Amino acid sequence: MDHCSGTASAPARSRWPVAYNLAKPNLPCRIKGEVQDLVVLDEIPPKIDGASYRVMTDPLVPPHPGNVPLDGDGNISVFRFGNGRVDMKMRCIETKRYLLERVACKALFGLYRGLPYEDEPYALDTLGSNPFGQVKAKTFTAHPKVGPFTEELVVFGYEATVLAFNGIVIYTLDRDASSASVERMKNGSHHWAWDCTKPSAFVVMPRRASLTTPLPPGRKEGESRVYEWDNSMLIHTGAAWESDDGATVHLETSRVMDNHLGIVDVPAEFPRIDERFLTKKHDMIFANKKKEVPIHRHSTGGMRYFHAAPGSLVQELAFIPRSADAPEGDGWVVAIVERRGREAQRPSTARHNWVDQARLEERRSLVRETCPLKISG
């Protein structure tokens, strides 16, 4: 109502579209900054020494109304743990689109393909796109996995060569960011088509075959295997491993057909494990369940819960081992907890990973340090 005349006012107009993914905790943040020595309630165990990296999309300019929620400019934040203290920094990923649209103050592109960008781990400065120069794929996954036994990064990309192409590229990168292997496969259907009458299919192929690497038990030279399952869409995977005889592939994942994590009888998402055990049989899995973190143990079937405060929402979590040789699951779970009744102060995260100090290789301050000052007198 118009407070002066008592008549109805016209709706306020905005260049930003009305969309759920731009509301409440997903309100555009677009802030870069840093905070030294965050306020800590209680105590942080001194053995937690490393960095917690989170990424999410945070649109710089009003997006196209038809764009999906995850289409936006990249936002990266890091929480640096050490000596019981935490520093925090947040930056934008300065892609070419981001830089051009920052000058134009408007959207200049439609669909923007997902090339990998490299960031400096402390300053979070954007160093450039495609740090794996010898890889020609035009897309990069949001879910790379680090092989704990080979120390390779396992990645893939849909539409690997051109837009709407039905090819998928799968490759691994060693510690020097050199391509370790490349395999291509065709998914045999139209670009992103969904046929609810067909079962889900998994194609399992040997990733490395050489004279020095023996085939898994029960495998023939060059053999690939296809496994079918109930119709569904798998979103986020906890882990997978193959039985010792090569006859069974075990896959832990959330699925869209019933919003359910198959191995845990609760509606849950973002399953994670103690990632020192990736590709191997393991006993524990952690997940998100709205305001709770369910912790499941396979060997006993038991379930424990961490309950956040009422009205909270636990974002994607990560696991921190107590030490490099600690038993499986001995450590801490770290996650951002949203207070849904309060204004959001940072973008909601969609990807979260923990990097131990031993893997960072050097110790530097996350925040800008002041120079020593001479005290007068």
- The yes-or-no verdict on residue 313 having pLDDT over 80 is yes
pLDDT at 361: 75
pLDDT score for 233:
58
Which token pair is 368?
Answer: 């800008």
Q: In terms of pLDDT, which residue wins out, 187 or 232?
A: 232
pLDDT for residue 342 is more than 70: no
Task: Check residue 126 and give its pLDDT.
Answer: 92
Q: In the chain, pLDDT over 70 holds for what percent of residues?
A: 67
pLDDT of 190 strictly over 60: no
Model confidence at 187: pLDDT above 50: no
Give the model confidence (pLDDT) of 216-259 as tens digits: 777 777 777 777 766 655 567 777 788 777 777 777 665 544 44
21 CB burial (10 A radius; 0-12, 13-18, 19+): middle
276 SS3 class? helix
Between 24 and 285, the higher pLDDT residue: 285
Q: Closest Cα to residue 282, out of 244, 246, 328, 236?
A: 328
Q: Which of 69-73, 77-81, 138-142, 196-200 has the lowest mean pLDDT?
A: 196-200
Q: What is the mean pLDDT of residues 275-294?
A: 86
Which token pair is 136?
């020609």
Q: Is the pTM of this model over 0.75?
A: no
pLDDT of residue 51: 94
Q: Is the pLDDT of residue 183 over 70?
A: no
Give residue 90's pLDDT band: very low, low, confident or very high (50, 70, 90). Answer: very high
The answer to whether the CB of 202 falls within 8 A of the CB of 226 is yes
HSE (side-chain half, CA atoms, 13 Å) at 92: 18
More confident residue, 285 or 191: 285
Query: In the structure, what pLDDT confidence band is assigned to residue 182 with cuts at 50, 70 and 90?
Result: low
* H runs (alpha helix) in 121-260: none
16-30, 158-172, 309-323: range with highest mean pLDDT: 309-323
Instruction: Average the pLDDT over each of 35-44, 255-264, 267-276, 354-363 and give the range with the smallest value.
Output: 255-264
Task: Please give the pLDDT value at position 333.
Answer: 92
Q: What is the mean pLDDT of the chain?
A: 76
pLDDT on residue 256: 46
- CA of residue 153 relative to chain centroid, distance: 14
Main-chain dihedrals φ then ψ at residue 185, nearest 5 degrees: -145, 155
Q: Which of 149-158, 318-327, 366-375 comes out lowest in average pLDDT?
A: 366-375
